[in-house]
Chain A
Amino acid sequence: MTNEKATRRYLGFLIPAAIAFIGASVAFKAADNAALLPPPALYAVSVVPVGIMLGMFWAHWRYMNEIDEFLRSIQVKAAFTGLIVVITLATGWGWLEFYADAPPLAIFWLNPLYWIAYSAAVLCFSPRDGAVS
């Protein structure tokens, strides 16, 4: 498989999945606000956005296996950067919540934060490593 085809396949899955995840999250919040579903049902329905999220990571995993080694090295660095940002912020903010009465941050935001940090890292590493000519 060519890199171009792998990228098209990846984005072809990721973009609709991201839209579905946002839609499911909004629907979830609306259902909760309107008290449409009892809490046990909300637990059950949460499988939908979580499943979509796992699908996004699966697509990312597949993409990293399909592209060539140089492009993969950029993806690995970017994914690791995303992980560093998420773990560091979660731990740092957690300490502030424990000891400095910082307002609680919902861990829901760690997933979008990961994707934002990962995307920013790809945009940073690609030209630096020569992947954009």
Chain B
Amino acid sequence: MAEKLDVSRQSINAIETGRYDPSLPLAFRIARLFGVPIEAIFEDDGEQRG
């Protein structure tokens, strides 16, 4: 997955464990890789709190 997204293994690990929020371009690349909308992968914490 890291290879397909052209990022490090550490980046994928940090995103999966919630320790790093990816940039919008990377988030779109991840969504495209899975073939789903971006909201299906990432949640807006602000909305959850609201």
Chain A interface (Cβ within 8 Å of chain B)?
3, 67-71, 73, 129-133
Interface residues of B (CB under 8 A from A): 6-11, 13-15, 17, 19-20, 22-23, 26
Chain A residue contacts of B13, Cβ below 8 A: 130, 133
Contacts of A3 in B (CB 8 A): 7-8
Find chain B residues with CB under 8 A from A132 CB.
Answer: 10
Bound-state Cα–Cα, A27 to B25, Å: 49
Indicate the member of A67, A68, A132 with the most B CB atoms within 10 Å. A68
Instruction: Closest B residue to A1 by CB, please name it.
Output: B6
Contact B7 A130 (CB under 8 A): no
- Cβ–Cβ contact B8 & A70, under 8 A: yes
Contacts of A133 in B (CB 8 A): 9-10, 13
Q: Does the CB pair A70–B6 fall under 8 Å?
A: no
> CA A73 – CA B7 in complex, angstroms?
13
- Report B17 CB to chain A, min CB distance, Å: 6
Chain A CB within 10 Å, residue with most, of B9, B15, B20, B22:
B20
> Told that A68-B8, A70-B22 touch, could you supply 10 new A-B pairs with CB distance under 8 A?
A3-B8, A68-B6, A68-B11, A70-B8, A70-B14, A129-B14, A130-B20, A131-B14, A133-B9, A133-B13
